[in-house]
Amino acid sequence: MPTTDFGDPRHVSLLVEQIRKKAVGPWTIMEVCGGQTHAILRYGIDQLLPDSLRIVHGPGCPVCVTPMESIDRAIQIASSPGVVFCTFGDMLRVPGSRGDLMQARSNGADIRIIQTPLEAYRIALEESSRGAEFDRKSGRQVVLFAIGFETTAPATAMAIRLAKQSQLDCFSALVCHVLVPPALEAIFSDPLHGIDGLLAAGHVCTIAGYRPYESIAQRHSIPIAITGFEPVDLLRGILAVIEQLQAGRSKFSAVNSYEHIAGIDGNIHAQSLVDEVFEISDQSWRGMGSLPRSGLKLRKSYASFDANHRFEFESVVPREPSICRAADVLRGKIRPIECPEFGKRCNPSNPIGAPMVSNEGACAAYYIYQSLAVRKTQTLEI
Ligand code: SF4
């Protein structure tokens, strides 16, 4: 069904009708993108679906999966004298073992909010041009907190490559980039994962391609649809998954429902930039532990820009609050509203876990749109 209006109510109605006819479940479909989580709740997509379909949310929020030990390191770096610490705004309130970056900022740390890693490079360039005291030897430095999935890694790589080209000695990065397919491998390797189908994040595939999802679909017998963020995108993806489930094929595949944006090989220029600066490494994920080959670290040729080598860190044993069910939320075992603390002790003003902090977090999404959903349900019942 070709369309250029991905919020067109007529297309939405037609897709919902087809889904209702074909969804003979019960089936549980996981999405793995913070943008999709919020779109599903904001547009009430979950309420349009039949009871036989349940949507759960995987590790798709970059802020939520950044491990506590990285937050602890970030706070220690940001609190060091002479450091300008550059971070995305969402990271400010993510809890570490002993507070968060917001508290470090109120204690005097120079923490600046950026929209893209290149802003951190520009800040370093400006600061270094202001005076000779802003260099690595004097201890005056600009540090980028580089978090996110395959989508943000190219911009981080670009910032670091530019810093190397311009011999910007005062610039470094605390790199915590993660890769989606290894996390999905970990989830689907659990025999009790309970997931029948997957919506893969279209923007991640736009960069990295979707070949890895083909092998995940086949190896774990999970039908996958690559899709986007608009209502028509999401519903097309859901339909593509349930059509495979309904057909009961012995071999499932990754279907591209985002073909107007994503291609099977992704953006090879972005990939080659990432490959020049980073190599694949084991990585710790919040709520999921250390996953093999699931992150990026700087190659030897760029190691001098690694903030881990420039600072000394006090050893802090990360302690997740035992009442937080973020690990179960991130693995799709429960939805946020099934956490006993949801909306009670845990809310956006007082977040206990990272998924309640970020704009892309599943718990925050449910909290923000829950009252809207209640109102809508009441209206429909009238
Ligand atoms: S509602 Fe709060 S306590 Fe519960 S899983 Fe989400 S972040 Fe953790």
Residue recorded with tokens 């810093």: 163
CB of 214 sitting under 6 A from ligand 1: no
Fold match flag (1-64+181-248+331-382 vs 67-177+267-308)? yes
Q: Is the pLDDT of residue 140 over 70?
A: yes
Q: How much is the pLDDT for 159?
A: 98
Q: Report CA(334)–ligand 1 centroid distance (Å).
A: 11
The whole-angstrom separation of Cα 159 and Cα 164 is 9
Q: Report CA(341)–ligand 1 centroid distance (Å).
A: 6
The mean pLDDT value for 34-50 works out to 91
Determine if the peptide bond prior to 212 is cis (ω within 30°).
no
Percentage of residues of the chain with pLDDT beyond 70:
93
Q: Report CA(224)–ligand 1 centroid distance (Å).
A: 27
Residue of higher predicted confidence among 259 and 89: 89
Residue recorded with tokens 């099934």: 338
Q: Does domain 67-177+267-308 have CATH number 3.40.50.11810?
A: no
The mean pLDDT value for 190-211 works out to 94
Q: How much is the pLDDT for 6?
A: 63
- Residue with CA closest to ligand 1 atom 1: 342
Q: How much is the pLDDT for 128?
A: 85
The region of weakest confidence among 132-141, 161-170, 338-347 is 132-141
Q: Where are the beta strands (DSSP E) in the chain?
A: 27-31, 53-57, 83-87, 110-113, 141-148, 171-177, 197-201, 224-227, 254-256, 278-285, 289-298
Q: Report CA(43)–ligand 1 centroid distance (Å).
A: 22
The whole-angstrom separation of Cα 221 and Cα 178 is 24
Q: How much is the pLDDT for 3?
A: 53
Task: Give residue 105's pLDDT band: very low, low, confident or very high (50, 70, 90).
Answer: very high
The mean pLDDT value for 1-23 works out to 79
CB of 286 sitting under 6 A from ligand 1: no
Task: Give residue 131's pLDDT band: very low, low, confident or very high (50, 70, 90).
Answer: low
Task: Give residue 379's pLDDT band: very low, low, confident or very high (50, 70, 90).
Answer: very low
Q: How much is the pLDDT for 251?
A: 81
The mean pLDDT value for 245-267 works out to 87
CB of 148 sitting under 6 A from ligand 1: no
The whole-angstrom separation of Cα 361 and Cα 345 is 17
State the chain's mean pLDDT as an integer: 90
- Residue with CA closest to ligand 1 atom 7: 353
CB of 346 sitting under 6 A from ligand 1: yes
Q: Where are the domains positioned within the chain?
A: 1-64+181-248+331-382, 67-177+267-308
Q: How much is the pLDDT for 320?
A: 79
Q: How far is CA 130 from CA 80, 165, 169, 248, in A?
A: 20, 19, 14, 65
* pLDDT, tens only, 267-295: 999 999 999 999 999 999 998 899 999 99
Residue 129 DSSP one-character state? H
What is the rounded end-to-end Cα distance, in angstroms, of the chain?
33
Find out whether 299 and 156 touch, Cβ atoms under 8 Å.
Answer: no
Q: Report CA(340)–ligand 1 centroid distance (Å).
A: 8
* pLDDT, tens only, 362-372: 999 999 987 55
Homologous superfamily (CATH) of 1-64+181-248+331-382 is: HypD, alpha/beta domain 1 (3.40.50.11750)
Percentage of residues of the chain with pLDDT beyond 90:
74
Q: How much is the pLDDT for 370?
A: 78
